[in-house]
Amino acid sequence: MMKINKNVIDAIIAHAEENLPHEACGYLAETQGLVCVHYELTNLDKASDHFSMDPKEQFAAVREMRKKRQRLCAVYHSHPETPARPSEEDIRLAYDPDISYVIISLKGKKPTVKSFLIKQGIVIHEHIEIIDEKNR
């Protein structure tokens, strides 16, 4: 199960909407089992059906995570026109079996966010628990 701050969910949805009609992409980082920050990265492909992250931004984000003692726990990206489930390309390019893959779909009236574990081509839906720090 992925535990994620509500403000991070809101931020990645906003990032996805800002990048329409293209896919948005980035990293999620956790501290003590809670996703507390997102790192917006540039989709170099500027496409609505796939993405490529900027390597310089990737390295900078990982350096920042290490500096703040955070752990990279997920790659996120948006699907502007399709459901929140991994495409064949998403599955093929899921190289790290130790992280989650979060997809934001903007297809419906309201955005949908889902998380998946992908290991050797096998996709497992991962439950997301949204933590609202204001209501704690």
pLDDT exceeds cutoff 60 at 133: yes
Q: What is the mean pLDDT of residues 34-38?
A: 97
Question: Residues 49-82: pLDDT tens digits?
Answer: 999 999 999 999 999 999 999 999 999 999 999 9
- Domain ranges across the chain: 2-135
Label residue 12 by pLDDT band (50, 70, 90): very high
CA 80 from centre of chain: 14
| Residue-level pLDDT at 135 | 52
- Mean per-residue pLDDT over the chain, rounded: 95
Give the DSSP H/E element, type plus range, for residue 5.
Answer: strand 2-5
pTM for this one? 0.94
Q: State phi, psi for 87 to the nearest 5 degrees.
A: -80, 170
Give dist(CA 73, CA 62) in Å, integer: 11
| Residue-level pLDDT at 62 | 97
Write out the DSSP string of 1-18: -EEEEHHHHHHHHHHHHH
Question: Residues 88-121: pLDDT tens digits?
Answer: 999 999 999 999 999 999 998 999 999 999 999 9
For 2-135, CATH number out of 3.40.140.10, 3.10.20.30, 3.30.1490.20, 3.40.30.10 equals 3.40.140.10
